[in-house]
Amino acid sequence: MRFLKNKGLWAVVSAVIVVVIIILLLLRGCAPTILDADSYTTEVTSLIDKNKSGQDKWNFVLGDTDFVDLCTEPYAAEFDAIGQQFIDRADEFDALRVNGDPRSIVANYDQYVQYFSTYRSIGEELKTFANSVRSGDYQAALAALEQLELLNKQLPVIE
């Protein structure tokens, strides 16, 4: 019974309870938001528009630049950043939740899944290219560019 009168023990128990409550509240706040159909469609469209912007930037750089120039740090940094953006957007798409079946809300939903999956692969390949340039492995950089070209041809057309 003596331990029940110990104020230090009660302070520790109280602190542990408060920490557990805070952690539970934070975890509850991290749960994915379930969107209505219109919000879901808007979010998907926004992610696609952002990818198209990155694609335009990437195509502009590739179209006007020699391979030797691409194999420099400024381009490596640019491709690394664009690649990470593509990966992040694919993650965002994967995390979107909608109230109902997304296939019944978004026409051609399977094309969207393939679209973001392909962009994830493009993002990973852009990062591979950047890392190859940084390490001086130009054969791997050239192989990454060839793989990027193949992936680009696999992108489904999203209207």
- 73 Cβ contact partners less than 8 Å away, ≥ 6 residues apart: 133, 134
Range of the domain at 82: 34-154
More confident residue, 44 or 81: 81
Q: How many helices (H) and strands (E) would you count in the chain?
A: 7, 2
- Give tens-digit pLDDT for 110-144: 888 999 999 999 999 999 999 999 999 999 999 99
- Give tens-digit pLDDT for 65-81: 777 778 888 889 999 99
Please check whether residues 5 and 82 belong to one and the same domain: no
> With contact defined as beta carbons under 8 Å apart, do 80 and 127 qualify?
yes
> With contact defined as beta carbons under 8 Å apart, do 78 and 61 qualify?
yes
Please check whether residues 92 and 141 belong to one and the same domain: yes
User: What local confidence, expressed as pLDDT, does residue 55 receive?
Assistant: 78
Kindly state whether residue 89 falls inside one of the protein's structural domains. Answer: yes
Please check whether residues 83 and 137 belong to one and the same domain: yes
Please check whether residues 44 and 96 belong to one and the same domain: yes
Kindly state whether residue 129 falls inside one of the protein's structural domains. Answer: yes
Please check whether residues 90 and 102 belong to one and the same domain: yes
Distance CA 135, CA 155 (A): 29
Q: Provide mean pLDDT across the span 88-111.
A: 87
- Give tens-digit pLDDT for 9-40: 556 556 556 555 555 555 555 556 777 778 87
